[in-house]
């Protein structure tokens, strides 16, 4: 086979390495951080001399000897946390590396690195009394968007309903990305002393990955993705950029996911196929766990804050902005109109659907306010979201 000279392509340019980043890394590990080199030297020396240490057999300072027993569910975090020395969750973390809570780690503290990004050190900023239960439940109730949905039974819908379904799924795909990115952002900042919360957030990440997957698949199986929207984007950005974990969790899990939970329930209600019913039913289960964590995390934050009233006022200030930004998503025509079409049963009956949406709106807002109240955060007098859907009020 011959190749003509004019058809030949130049070789690809060398891939640009991150010279600056690599240089900084080398500088840090070769000249700045000394401890690792000392550890390496000591280890290599012992290996060369054929000398055992066996210090790890010494149980002084260890919580050694009491064996954890599984409960009927298997070996849960609750089961191992009952053993002395393992379930003591500090109010403030002071270990900023990977040394496991309950291990013999104190003698090595000075020789260990410190990870500066572990910045969420206050238990009140992340703990919820139900987090271990929710973690176990999340693992037990995982499902598979590829296999557990009866995709082969998906029926084609009339064009208006198919497009409304696809648009709703496009919105949900967009939303579920931030619902994964938010816990991902904070997961990394949480020290491992709060490993139960990290574990739960990992399940939330998996849940949200599956949700964006299932809605993307549903849209494309029915014709395709439709419109992204600026209103969605601003609401999602406000969640991701929340200044603290508690504030962001409130905005995402209590307000945002509370509303999305209502949309999932509405989605199940208005679904036109058994496939869609199953999708929404599966998703609403996951979403309800996230909402439940959000409510009790907020409750724990408020109940344990040393300056409770000031903390509540700060949350109000945050909510004054947060509610309005979230409202940009929940007033987008690209969201409310397809829901109204599905509720009404066709594009021609969008007005009837809008009547139903007004009822749903009041329900959404009321549920949000109930959840706030349950957490000890009475938002009724200051809520900036209208209690009634203002459709056509200016007409």
Q: Considering beta carbons, is residue 97 or 133 the nearer one to other proteins?
A: 133
Query: Cα 159–165–168 angle (5° rounding)?
Result: 140
Closest CB 320 distance from other proteins, rounded Å: 22
Closest CB 285 distance from other proteins, rounded Å: 5
Closest CB 70 distance from other proteins, rounded Å: 13
Q: Considering beta carbons, is residue 87 or 356 the nearer one to other proteins?
A: 356
Q: Considering beta carbons, is residue 119 or 133 the nearer one to other proteins?
A: 133
Map residue 93 onto helix, strand or coil: coil
The rounded radius of gyration (Å) of the Cα atoms in the chain is 26
**Whole-angstrom Cα distance, residue 314 to residue 291?**
21
Closest CB 73 distance from other proteins, rounded Å: 6
Query: Cα 241–299–194 angle (5° rounding)?
Result: 70
Q: Considering beta carbons, is residue 349 or 370 the nearer one to other proteins?
A: 370
Q: Is the Cα torsion angle 285, 287, 292, 293 positive or negative in sign?
A: positive
Q: What are phi and psi of 74, to 5 degrees?
A: 115, -160
Whether the Cβ atoms of residue 202 and residue 255 lie closer than 8 Å to each other: no
Query: Cα 250–256–261 angle (5° rounding)?
Result: 120
Closest CB 221 distance from other proteins, rounded Å: 18
User: Which residues of the shown chain bind other proteins in the complex (CB under 8 A)?
Assistant: 72-73, 133, 136-137, 140-142, 261, 265-266, 268-269, 271-274, 277, 281-282, 284-285, 287-289, 291-292, 295-296, 356, 359-360, 363, 367, 370-371, 374
Q: Considering beta carbons, is residue 105 or 281 the nearer one to other proteins?
A: 281
From the CB of residue 359, how many other CB atoms can be counted at a distance below 10 Å?
12
Closest CB 211 distance from other proteins, rounded Å: 14
Closest CB 141 distance from other proteins, rounded Å: 3
Q: Considering beta carbons, is residue 229 or 284 the nearer one to other proteins?
A: 284
CA 5 to chain centre: 54
**Whole-angstrom Cα distance, residue 351 to residue 337?**
10
Q: What are phi and psi of 262, to 5 degrees?
A: -65, -35
**Whole-angstrom Cα distance, residue 172 to residue 170?**
5
Q: Considering beta carbons, is residue 176 or 287 the nearer one to other proteins?
A: 287
């Amino acid at each position: 086979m011959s190749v003509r000279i004019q058809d030949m392509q130049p070789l690809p340019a060398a891939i640009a390495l991150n010279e600056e980043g690599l240089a900084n890394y080398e500088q840090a590990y070769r000249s700045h951080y000394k401890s690792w080199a000392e550890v390496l030297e000591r280890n290599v020396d012992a290996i060369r001399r054929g000398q055992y240490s066996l210090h790890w057999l010494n149980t002084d300072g260890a919580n050694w000897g009491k064996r954890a027993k599984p409960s009927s569910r298997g070996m849960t975090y609750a089961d191992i946390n009952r053993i002395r020395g393992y379930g003591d969750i500090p109010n403030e973390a002071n270990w900023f590396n990977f040394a496991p809570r309950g291990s013999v780690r104190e003698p090595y503290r000075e020789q260990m690195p410190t990870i500066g990004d572990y910045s969420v050190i206050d238990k009140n900023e992340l703990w919820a009394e139900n987090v271990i239960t929710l973690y176990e439940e999340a693992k037990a109730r995982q499902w598979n968007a590829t296999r557990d949905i009866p995709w082969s039974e998906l029926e084609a819908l009339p064009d208006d309903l198919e497009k409304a379904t696809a648009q709703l799924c496009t919105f949900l795909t967009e939303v579920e990305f931030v619902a994964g990115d938010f816990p991902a952002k904070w997961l990394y900042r949480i020290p491992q002393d709060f490993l139960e919360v990290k574990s739960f957030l990992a399940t939330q990440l998996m849940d949200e990955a599956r949700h964006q997957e299932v809605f993307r698949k549903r849209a494309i199986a029915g014709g395709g993705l439709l419109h992204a929207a600026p209103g969605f984007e601003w609401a999602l950005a406000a969640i991701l950029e929340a200044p603290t974990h508690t504030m962001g969790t409130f905005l995402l899990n209590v307000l945002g996911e509370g509303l999305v939970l209502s949309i999932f329930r509405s989605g199940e209600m208005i679904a036109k196929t058994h496939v869609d019913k199953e999708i929404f039913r599966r998703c609403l289960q996951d979403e309800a766990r996230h909402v439940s964590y959000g409510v009790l995390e907020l409750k724990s934050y408020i109940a344990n804050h040393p300056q409770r009233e000031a903390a509540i006022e700060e949350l109000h200030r945050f909510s004054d902005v947060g509610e309005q930004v979230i409202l940009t998503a929940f007033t987008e025509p690209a969201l409310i109109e397809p829901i109204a079409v599905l509720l009404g049963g066709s594009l021609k009956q969008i007005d009837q659907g809008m009547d139903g949406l007004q009822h749903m709106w009041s329900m959404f807002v009321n549920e949000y306010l109930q959840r706030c109240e349950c957490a000890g955060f009475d938002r009724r007098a200051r809520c900036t979201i209208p209690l009634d859907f203002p459709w056509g009020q200016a007409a």
